[in-house]
Structure 1
Amino acid sequence: MDYQGRIIRPPSEADSILLQVTTGCSHNKCAFCGAYKDKRFSIKPDAIVLDDLAYAAEHYAFVRRLFLCDGDALIIPHAKLISLLETIRKRLPQITRVSSYASAKALAMKSDAQLKELRSAGLGTVYIGLESGDNVTLEAMGKHGSASDIVLQGQRAGEAGMKRNVSVILGLGGTARSMEHARATGRALSKMNPEQAAALTLMLVPGTPLFAMAEDGRFELPDSQGMLRELYELVVHTELSKGLFFANHASNYLPISARFPRDKQRILRQIQNGLAGEEMLRPDSLRRL
């Protein structure tokens, strides 16, 4: 398989075929993200992608899921993306789910009819980075679009029949906007009402603008207790009609898994226990991006 640069994929795609159809991210300006600083955005040539599909057909015929890399695959022009999905279906008939990251920018470039066509062609799940529902935080972090923009595009993807896995980042507002960030993010998640939501905890990455901001005192990262208080407020303000909620990423201090609305009160008690020191937190030495 032709992999250019470091490959980033969601934790739940660990067992998927990773097909790199683009390199990098077309935005690549988020202050907290260092994932694609080593490469420029590009759409990979058809010949390379077809060679990779041929290799996958020969060596991964037992794998039933496929993830389109890199960070912005959905921004590929619609006709080309439909052709790719049709080729995947033809070359890898065992694949039951194709998934991709989906930015609000990329989703906005597709009409409602085009999103439905992508779903029919096999794109079943999209991973959307909301990160924060607080517009002040989003602007400070260089995120593309407002919270309402991201929510709208997530709603459109859902209406097209795609399953949505939406990520948010605890600590992204710093200590200055901790509660505003947490509460607004819960409200934004509620409006989007995804099938799955995942809360990660911010870890400062050397070489990113946010790391520099923290070093010179323009950004203060909440401590473990501050992160738990954010998680509590986030959960309080989140209402999902029938969705999974996870805060069990390697970056999190307190691993949490829940189905909303059934488990909401249970995990609120779990977070309270963590705040009270009655439940062990993951030490910083074991936390990972």
Structure 2
Amino acid sequence: MNYEGQICRGPMERSSFMLPVEVGCAYNGCKFCTLFKHLKYRELPMEQIEEELKRVSTVGGNPRTVFLGDGNAFGLSTEKLLAIIERVHVHFPGCEGIHMDATVTDISRKSDEDLRRLYEAGVRHLYLGIESGLDDVLAFMNKDHTLEQAYRQIDRMREAGLIYDAHFMTGIAGKGRGIENAEYTAEFFNRTRPSRMINFSMFLHERAALYEEIQKGTFRPADELENLIEERRLLELLKPWGQEVLYDGFHDMIEFRVRGKLPKDKESMLARLDERIAVEKPGLTAFVK
């Protein structure tokens, strides 16, 4: 596979075949993100996409699920997505679902008919970078949506049959706001009910625009202890919503990860967080790469 940049996708997609359909991210404006800053966004030509499909099918590849990369593949036009999906099914007749990242704005730009056609063609899971349940945090981080817009577009994609999965970040609200962010984010998730939840935790890098805010003193990063406490509070507040939910949480500074199925594993996940919180000591400093 010819791939430009850093591969970043939800851990639930580790068994999916990743098919690049674009380079970079069409939005590329989130203040905390550095994944695509060094890349010039462009759509890959159909000839290149078809060549990759042929390469894999020629050696016997016939994956059940395909993940379209990169940053927000759902932002491609409906017609191009349908053309790609048609070629996927030609080369991979066993494919049962096509998944990709999306933004709230990507969904808003597609009509109800577009969403329905994409579902009927085989699109299933869409991963949305929700990040936080606080509107002021979304605005500060230069996200492309408000909470009300997210509610509306998630309802629309669900009405079409598409499956909503969520990316979010503990620590994104900054030092001293972890519990507040946990409570509002839990409220958002209890209302929108994602089927998969990935907590990437706040990843700080000196090349991110957010680093300038840290230097100016307009953003104070939460340390890992506060991240752990925030994650615990969020999990504590999540309610069963009639379906099994896959949860995976990462932490940047420490080798610790909590994952499981909700609500079945909720108590054991909380217990693991309690154990780790007891190990961590107050006074940790923010870790900036």
Conserved 8 A contact 2:130-2:168? yes
Identity %: 25
Q: Does 1:3 align with 2:19?
A: no
User: In 2, Cα distance between the equivalents of 1:245 and 1:137?
Assistant: 25
Following TM superposition, by how much is the alpha carbon of 1:73 offset from its aligned partner in structure 2, in angstroms?
0.9
Structure 1, 230-239 or 92-101: larger mean CA deviation: 230-239
Following TM superposition, by how much is the alpha carbon of 1:66 offset from its aligned partner in structure 2, in angstroms?
1.3
Q: RMSD between aligned alpha carbons? A: 2.6
Conserved 8 A contact 1:243-1:259? yes
1:247–1:90 CA distance, 2 compared to 1 (3 A): closer
| Structure 2 unaligned residues grouped into runs of 5+ | none
1:264 to 254, 263, 266: 266
Q: TM-score, normalised by structure 1?
A: 0.88
Q: Deviations over 1:35-64 (max 9, x none)?
A: 111112222222221222221221351433
Structure 1, 228-237 or 66-75: larger mean CA deviation: 228-237
Other-structure match for 1:255 = 257
Q: Does 1:155 align with 2:155?
A: yes
1:249 partner letter = F
Following TM superposition, by how much is the alpha carbon of 1:138 offset from its aligned partner in structure 2, in angstroms?
0.6
Q: Does 1:244 align with 2:265?
A: no
1:10–1:198 CA distance, 2 compared to 1 (3 A): closer
Other-structure match for 1:201 = 201
1:62–1:44 CA distance, 2 compared to 1 (3 A): closer
Other-structure match for 2:32 = 32
Name the SS of the counterpart of 1:138 in structure 2.
helix
Conserved 8 A contact 2:105-2:144? yes
1:221–1:52 CA distance, 2 compared to 1 (3 A): same
User: In 1, Cα distance between the equivalents of 2:240 and 2:164?
Assistant: 12
Following TM superposition, by how much is the alpha carbon of 1:216 offset from its aligned partner in structure 2, in angstroms?
3.7
User: In 1, Cα distance between the equivalents of 2:233 and 2:274?
Assistant: 11
Other-structure match for 1:46 = 46
Q: TM-score, normalised by structure 2?
A: 0.88
Q: Deviations over 1:139-193 (max 9, x none)?
A: 1111111122123322322332222221110000001432222111111111110
Equivalent residues in 2 for 1:1-289 (5 A)? 1-59=1-59, 61-241=61-241, 242-249=243-250, 251=252, 254-277=256-279
User: In 2, Cα distance between the equivalents of 1:96 and 1:120?
Assistant: 11
Question: How many residues are paired up?
Answer: 283
Q: Deviations over 1:186-208 (max 9, x none)?
A: 11111110111122211202200
Following TM superposition, by how much is the alpha carbon of 1:122 offset from its aligned partner in structure 2, in angstroms?
1.0
Name the SS of the counterpart of 1:201 in structure 2.
coil
User: In 1, Cα distance between the equivalents of 2:184 and 2:147?
Assistant: 9
Q: Deviations over 1:57-88 (max 9, x none)?
A: 21351433211011111111112211211121
1:200–1:140 CA distance, 2 compared to 1 (3 A): same
| Structure 1 unaligned residues grouped into runs of 5+ | none
Name the SS of the counterpart of 1:49 in structure 2.
helix
User: In 1, Cα distance between the equivalents of 2:125 and 2:23?
Assistant: 20
User: In 1, Cα distance between the equivalents of 2:112 and 2:239?
Assistant: 26
1:116 partner letter = R
User: In 2, Cα distance between the equivalents of 1:163 and 1:176?
Assistant: 34
